[in-house]
Amino acid sequence: MAKELLLKKGREKSSKRHHPWIFSGAVEKVTGDPGMGESLLVRDGDGQLVGWAAYSPASQIRARFWNYDPTQSVQLDFFVGQLQKALARRQAIWPLGLPAAFRWVNGENDGLPGLVVDRYGDYLVCQFLSAGTETAKTMILEALQNLWPAQGVVERSDVSVREKEGLAPVKGLLAGTLPSGPVPVEIGGIHFAVDLLEGHKTGHYLDQRENWAVVRQLAQGKEVLNCFGYTGGFSLAALQGGATKVTQVELSGPANRQFEANLALNALGSEAVTVREEDVFKELRLMRDQGKSFDLVILDPPKFAESQSQLDKAARGYKDINLLAMKLIRPGGLLVSFSCSGAMEPKLFQKILADAALDAHKEAHLLRRLGPGPDHGPNLNFPEGDYLKGLLVALD
């Protein structure tokens, strides 16, 4: 029996619009007893072929489309082609040459659901986040090596989202050799030493490249507070831009030590820098009670909402932290605030900041909307991929 997935009548609309996810509630039946991650043909409610998708019986996202061409099966040449197209899009962004660090593959946004590939110098770091990419890992690795003979390919699939796919976390070397230590790279004019095995995500956050540049332009002569600073991207950008003082709040000791190392890498002294190794919520309340104030505050928190069901709780967290930050900003000062929760829609995020400004007794003026770098841009048929939202706000 052919291995196929039949959609319920009336549930084909998103698939016909090339949205890559098929939720369990849209599935009429599955035939042929496919295994986890196996590619199978998808038919609409009228029996017409739609394309190929990877099956994930453990997940509410029951299948993820590879393509919408029933004649193109999912073999090595498919992955080579998708990787080539993704790379060509990055070469169009940077026609004078690819940077030393960038996102080559951004999952569903590049037609490879569940696959992330980042470049750091001579190394590639991959995340296989779906049953389909886990099953196709060998082919994907071969395709990557055919197109980019990296010195080493590292896997960082040590993330909780794999549990929803019925997969265990995995971390280690896939091919080549491991670096002897952190990999030095320049990202948006800032030098970092990136720990590929222990750093967040694939070793670092590459999506804030353009937003570091925004802070660099704003920082001249300002006292800056950078919250959830990690290894110091926004702090380093502010110092490069001429900030008179930078206070970084980050709970992780290893991240703060790496920030201090990154100061030296960028030939930036530590005299104007204060590092607070504390919980951001507690530290902001303490600063409020102490009457401290700043010209520019940056909020780049981790994801507060992993799913739609967590959105209400997340909204309260965003409201709380932005309210605390606004109370620390001097008249005429600036707030740069982000949400990386995909479930958080831009209109709701703006409303949360508007409500926080009212409670802080401040007038808030939106100066600019911010988002991820172009190598992290969403596919227009996949709004969930537009995850990073930022607002630059002036406060009276």
Q: Which residues are identified as catalytic? A: 340
Note whether 113 and 132 are within 8 A (CB).
yes
Tokens 């770098």 identify what position? 373
Vertex 364 angle, CA 362 and 369, to 5° = 155
SS (H, E, C) 281-310: HHHHHHHHHHCCCEEEEEECCCCCCCCHHH
Q: Dihedral sign for Cα 251, 169, 379, 117, please.
A: positive
- Calculate helix-pair angle for 209-218, 233-240, nearest 10 degrees: 40
Q: Which residues contact 264 (CB under 8 A, 6 or more apart)?
A: none
Tokens of 261: 């190392």
Work out the burial of residue 9: count CB atoms within 10 Å of its CB; fewer than 13 is exposed, 13-18 middle, 19 or more buried: exposed
User: In degrees to the nearest 10, what's the CA dihedral of 267, 268, 271, 272?
Assistant: 170
Note whether 62 and 113 are within 8 A (CB).
no
Vertex 229 angle, CA 331 and 394, to 5° = 20
Q: Rounded to whole angstroms, how far apart are CA atoms 278 and 291? A: 18
DSSP 383: G
Task: Find how far residue 239's CA is from the centre of its chain.
Answer: 24
Tokens of 85: 């197209």
Phi, psi dihedrals of residue 341, rounded to the nearest 5°: -85, 115
Q: Rounded to whole angstroms, how far apart are CA atoms 392 and 366? A: 6
* Partners of 106 in beta bridges: 116
Considering only CA atoms, give the Rg of the chain.
22
